[in-house]
Structure 1
């Protein structure tokens, strides 16, 4: 008799008998049993759950034991063995789904989908970047909440944000130099809490925030400017602390229902395309109204992220999930976007602001000590002035008169090597010069080049970068 042709019921009986004589009988009776079948109803795996006594800290313990119907590689014999199914694993109740092929299916990670949205949804930044790969993959097509960004190593936080935002982990090689296991991928929105922004945390390790990092992890200050911290109103509570404690206690007991109701409504047959069109229309309207026409691509990406949350909130309201008034989700997302823009300093490109900030910092810090004075009209140095150590260039002060009024202008002449190798080290010099010329900070030459040909005191004629300090230092 071939074992694989054993009737369904008989095969399950053998699985239960196998459990009774196995090493897991010490755990007693299973608290839960899931039976995985193929599309024809044949049992493939029985997953047992055993609830054990709490540990010393009072934390409940449990053990999962997968028992799989599989073939032995040595003698091709079929039998139940204590091991899990290989990837890709079949869905639970696959035989029922096979009979109803047109029914929408919602996939939720693990058997604990019933507690989706509970306190355990919040994960910690106190993990290696490798561990965060697995955490992100486990939350794919969902929400990942990471608590306290300050607990992550500031040396790797930037690369970790890139990884989470890009939706793919590291590619690793095996001992033969070939591609090892499959690269993990995910698609999710992730939130983070913390007392510091990403830029402040990276600065502790002398790391510089890149624009790509900033648009992947948007910094929204937790201050509603109402004198109540994060909250705009107290809803009958004595103070913000009482409201916070009440919310914390209630969400630890009641959670998950709105999310499941939203997913169930989305899967209603024949309506998904209409819902997608509603989300797309709301998203486009949000970004158009929230940003000026001159907004940079970085601001557009950020607004799209806020707009997606707003569109989902308005759709959930229309489906009767939230109980909010119409337009509340849009208003809330707009408040968060405006707060991000104010924290960032506008809707322009972060790279341009970073270029100006770096140049301004150099002038403010070294304007006196590392620039040789050039006060006369002729290209002569002041022999009585102190010598300039580690020179960046020259500083020329000119007095101008218009009628009865006088004003002074200061122009900085940066040497080409210091401009490239020190002031803007690590930056694309072509982009730097283009940005500064466009803002009127860098005075180009008559032939359109960023550097002018100037004879400096005590030096032959050469190309230097001429910076208008009045424009640079103005608000």
Structure 2
């Protein structure tokens, strides 16, 4: 709930502190409290029944909804209603803040829609899991623009404290409250912001909060920016007397949720994690059907659509990928990008004799000496354990 309110109040701050748009995606089982959090966030700006939106629309419709909520919040309920084939593209569009160029019936250019806001999404599946239903590989960029927050594993599923109420009573009380009282704090927050008119002070405050969100690469930095501006909005509303919370509460909650995200995805580059996880999954699925023992000089006639071979070395089973299978396993990343990720994880177990090539020639059953990429799956598992 703290995150939802901070998300809503952060909209007017984005352009002032130089943070790009993006979103937070609440992931949890049905009836865990995700929709209630969205109702609370929506109530910051208006009647939740009218202000809230849904993923069930075209990309063009989504752009219209976003532009109509510029500098505020776009709540999107139930990601399962979005088109799986386009959901990642829609996440990019929401974060980038610019619609697609169109033409009038007279073939004249129509002005592009634009916006800058945060999206508060929800669903029982993550963005990448929903995209996979349509056969699309997860895009690291889309996942960073719509970052997953677990909304089902707190003390009371999405909530830490029910204030002495049963879950159903807590939900009902807040639902009735926001139906009667809404649209107050958002406009009051903007009035206070305009009255203070202290851009240098605002930037200084943001820098101070941002410094408390630790990151080790630019991609995590983008997510840290988002949690930091949400925390800033909450702390400013407390200082303005608009929220009856203890100073520091909004910051502490955002740090907690950011820390949970960081520990879940692990450190390092998101594309590296996806490449390594893809190759490990490929081995799990096809290790016994598309690979055979490279030292067995009798060709294995049971292997169709061969991906390579395997060998035992030092108590480990290494997988010798041919080039096309390696690219297939990494879901369409280019070979040079795949090699970079494998090198970073220390997963290339053997190289050519000159040590300059990342592949090694092997004499294989049935004749021939192809170049094969020797992969240690244990190194992949060590890098991707938190995925």
Q: Under a length normalisation based on structure 1, what TM-score does the superposition of the two structures give?
A: 0.66
> What is the aligned partner in structure 2 of residue 361 from structure 1?
281
Change (3 A) 1:423 1:242: same
> What is the aligned partner in structure 1 of residue 15 from structure 2?
none
Offset of residue 273 of structure 1: 2.3
> What is the aligned partner in structure 1 of residue 362 from structure 2?
454
> What is the aligned partner in structure 2 of residue 347 from structure 1?
267
The whole-number CA distance in structure 2 between the counterparts of 1:414 and 1:229 is 43
The whole-number CA distance in structure 1 between the counterparts of 2:262 and 2:203 is 28
**1:391-431 CA-partner distances (Å, limit 9, x unpaired):** 11111124x5xxxxxxx2222212234334x3345212111
The whole-number CA distance in structure 2 between the counterparts of 1:413 and 1:216 is 35
> What is the aligned partner in structure 1 of residue 30 from structure 2?
none
The whole-number CA distance in structure 2 between the counterparts of 1:283 and 1:389 is 56
The whole-number CA distance in structure 1 between the counterparts of 2:181 and 2:105 is 49
**1:206-251 CA-partner distances (Å, limit 9, x unpaired):** 112201111111111113521x1111111121x1221111111101
**Structure 2 counterpart SS, 1:353:** helix
> What is the aligned partner in structure 2 of residue 389 from structure 1?
304
**Greater helix content:** 2
Higher mean C-alpha displacement, 201-210 vs 447-456: 447-456
The whole-number CA distance in structure 2 between the counterparts of 1:417 and 1:260 is 57
**Quick check: 1:282–1:311 contact (8 Å CA) kept in 2?**
no
1:122 aligns with 2:49: no
- Give the root-mean-square deviation of aligned CA atoms: 2.3
The whole-number CA distance in structure 1 between the counterparts of 2:297 and 2:135 is 37
**Structure 2 counterpart SS, 1:464:** strand
> What is the aligned partner in structure 1 of residue 12 from structure 2?
none
> What is the aligned partner in structure 2 of residue 198 from structure 1?
127
Offset of residue 333 of structure 1: 0.8
> What is the aligned partner in structure 2 of residue 134 from structure 1?
64
Change (3 A) 1:437 1:159: same
1:223 aligns with 2:174: no
Instruction: Name which structure has the greater RCO, CA cutoff 8 Å, separation 6+.
Output: 2
**Quick check: 2:44–2:186 contact (8 Å CA) kept in 1?**
no
> What is the aligned partner in structure 1 of residue 293 from structure 2?
373
1:166 aligns with 2:96: yes
> What is the aligned partner in structure 2 of residue 255 from structure 1?
182
Offset of residue 163 of structure 1: 0.9
Matches within 5 A, 1:73-472: 116-119=45-48, 120-173=50-103, 180-226=109-155, 228-237=156-165, 239-268=166-195, 271-287=197-213, 291-292=214-215, 295-343=216-264, 345-375=265-295, 381-382=297-298, 386-398=301-313, 400=314, 408-420=315-327, 422-424=328-330, 426-443=332-349, 444-445=351-352, 446-472=354-380
The whole-number CA distance in structure 1 between the counterparts of 2:162 and 2:108 is 55
* Structure 2 residues without counterparts, runs of 5 or longer: 1-42
The whole-number CA distance in structure 2 between the counterparts of 1:307 and 1:207 is 31
* Structure 1 residues without counterparts, runs of 5 or longer: 1-113, 401-407
The whole-number CA distance in structure 1 between the counterparts of 2:378 and 2:253 is 40
Q: Under a length normalisation based on structure 2, what TM-score does the superposition of the two structures give?
A: 0.81
Q: Which structure has the larger Rg?
A: 1
**1:29-72 CA-partner distances (Å, limit 9, x unpaired):** xxxxxxxxxxxxxxxxxxxxxxxxxxxxxxxxxxxxxxxxxxxx
Number of matched residues?
338
The whole-number CA distance in structure 2 between the counterparts of 1:156 and 1:242 is 38
The whole-number CA distance in structure 2 between the counterparts of 1:205 and 1:329 is 37
**Quick check: 2:358–2:373 contact (8 Å CA) kept in 1?**
yes
**Quick check: 1:303–1:337 contact (8 Å CA) kept in 2?**
yes
Offset of residue 304 of structure 1: 0.6
The whole-number CA distance in structure 2 between the counterparts of 1:249 and 1:454 is 70
**Structure 1 counterpart SS, 2:195:** coil
